[in-house]
Amino acid sequence: MPGVDRSYARHFAVRSAAARPAGTSLQSRSPWSRATALPAGLKTNLRVAYAFSGPCLDLEDFEFDAIDSLEADAERAAYGALASLKLVRIRSAGQRTIVRVKGVEIGGDRFVVMAGPCAVESERQVMETAEAVARAGARVLRGGGFKPRTSPYNFQGLGLEGLKLLRKAGDAFGLPVISEAMSDSQVELVAEYADIIQVGTRSMENAALLATLGRCSRPVLLKRGMVASVEELLQAAEVLLANGNPHVILCERGIRTLGKLTRNTCDIVAVPLLHQLTHLPVIVDPSHATGRRSLVPALARAAVAIGAEGLLVEVHPSPKTALSDAAQSLAIPEFRRMMHRLEPYLKLWSEEHALDETAAPAARR
């Protein structure tokens, strides 16, 4: 079958897999000895197609060289954009960046939960939240002073006053704090009060902000743009590193897809994909990814299971009255329950992490 259509083979593989009778196993037959040079993904598709189609699809006729070169072209095109990203690209197995903030290591041997209100609203609100999340095991306090709101009529944050209150709450309960800078002109001020500076989804492509943060010594949490590809996220991270800041954490916070039942769609597989492409730590924000508090704990467990290095979670002492992101903020008892239910997953996370370390001892940065 000269010039076989690769997409047809994929399509066929998926259809065949769906039709596979329960309990049957894959067979191995001679064509695979000819297919050893194929990229793993395509080989798997063809193997599945072959195993389930039996006599309907004679793989002896496949032109493996043609498929091989098509696949190689596609891979080159997909990865081509990354070739120029000298700094964020992973160079050797086990090369991992650890971002260190006041004794907390993001990308190290422990999973890190960052939690707190979407926006700082009052001293009482942020103090109460900080105390509760610290007790429940969070190790970084989040809270917005400057809030990037889609509508100008929504609460815009307390600004500097919010940053001061966040700092006070973090210090009171021994938590480093993270807060957002929306523009390059805010960086100096936010850096004065926050230990980690957040780049929000709406700012991922703000070149002036990224360049300024690149020249800043504070670690940066870079959120994926809501319509940004993984490649574009890495390009934005490269801007930070190229400007001199190696302390970068990536954050998958969901992207826009179809439907309105969730605020966004969490591209959960972006986590292991990013781990294959970059040495930077990757965390997941299940609050903005779902927009619904009832879905946050399940996504948090998925994030741990898939190997993220941490979480960014919104918590509020009274979510119903929250001035921003009320629907997705966990009440304090809900956060406690979420943390409790994460425990077995965290144990597995540590075991997996130890296995990775044994397989490829980390070349830490």
Contact positions toward ligand PEP, by CB under 6 A? 118, 144, 148, 200-202, 223, 253, 285, 288
Residues 31-50 binding Mn ion (CB under 5 A) are none
3-state helix, strand, coil in the chain (%, to 5): 50, 15, 35
Give backbone dihedrals phi and psi of 20, rounded to 5 degrees, phi first: -65, 125
Q: Which residue is nearest to ligand PEP (CB)?
A: 200
Q: How far is the CB of 146 from ligand PEP (least distance, A)?
A: 10
Residue 64 near residue 34 (C-beta atoms within 8 A): yes
Burial class (CB in 10 A: 0-12, 13-18, 19+), 83: exposed
Which of 262-298 are b and which e, b meaning 16 or more Cβ less than 10 Å from the residue's Cβ?
Answer: bbbebbbebbeebbebbbbbbbbbbbbbbbebebbbe
Decide if 239 contacts 225 (C-beta within 8 A). Answer: no
Question: Nearer Cβ to ligand PEP, position 182 or 191?
Answer: 182
Q: Least distance from C-beta 119 to Mn ion, angstroms?
A: 7
What 8-state DSSP symbol labels residue 179? E
- Indicate which of Mn ion, ligand PEP, none lies near residue 148 (CB less than 5 to 8 Å, by partner kind): ligand PEP
Using CB under 5 A, count the residues that bind Mn ion. 2
Nearest residue (CB) to ligand PEP, 51 versus 289: 289
Buried b (16+ CB within 10 A) or exposed e, 123-148: eebbbbbbbbbbebbbbbbbbbbbbe
Closer to ligand PEP by Cβ: residue 6 or 202: 202
- Footprint on residues 299-338 left by Mn ion (CB under 5 A): 325
CB nearer to ligand PEP: give 51 or 283: 283
> Which one, 46 or 117, has the nearer CB to ligand PEP?
117
Among ligand PEP, Mn ion, none, what binds residue 253 when CB lies within 5 to 8 Å by partner kind?
A: ligand PEP
Q: How many CB atoms lie within 10 A of CB 355?
A: 10
To Mn ion, the closest distance from the beta carbon of 209 in angstroms equals 18
The 10 Å Cβ neighbour count of residue 109 is 11
Q: Which is nearer to ligand PEP, 170 or 200 (CB)?
A: 200
Q: How far is the CB of 200 from ligand PEP (least distance, A)?
A: 3
CB of 224 to ligand PEP, least distance (A): 8
Minimum CB separation of residue 62 from ligand PEP in Å reads: 45
Q: How far is the CB of 143 from ligand PEP (least distance, A)?
A: 9
Residue 285 in the binding site for Mn ion (CB under 5 A) = no
Q: Vertex 149, ends 176 and 213: CA angle to 5°?
A: 45
Q: 223 or 247: whose CB is closer to ligand PEP?
A: 223
Contact string 108-127 vs Mn ion (x = CB under 5 A): ----------x---------
CA 144 – CA 117 distance, rounded (Å): 8
Say whether 113 sits in a helix, a strand or coil: strand
CA angle 124, 125, 130 (to 5 degrees): 100
> What is the spatial distance between Cα 284 and Cα 304, in angstroms, rounded to a whole number?
9
CB of 289 to Mn ion, least distance (A): 11
Using the minimum distance from each CB to ligand PEP, give the nearer residue, 139 or 253. Answer: 253
Q: List the single partner that 201 binds among Mn ion, ligand PEP, none, CB under 5 to 8 Å by kind.
A: ligand PEP
CA pair distance 295, 244, nearest whole angstrom = 38
Q: What does 121 bind: ligand PEP, Mn ion, none (CB cut-off 5 to 8 Å by kind)?
A: none
Task: Assess contact for 320 and 349: CB atoms under 8 A.
Answer: no
Q: What is the nearest approach in angstroms of ligand PEP to the Cβ of residue 118?
A: 5
Binding site for Mn ion (CB under 5 A): 118, 325
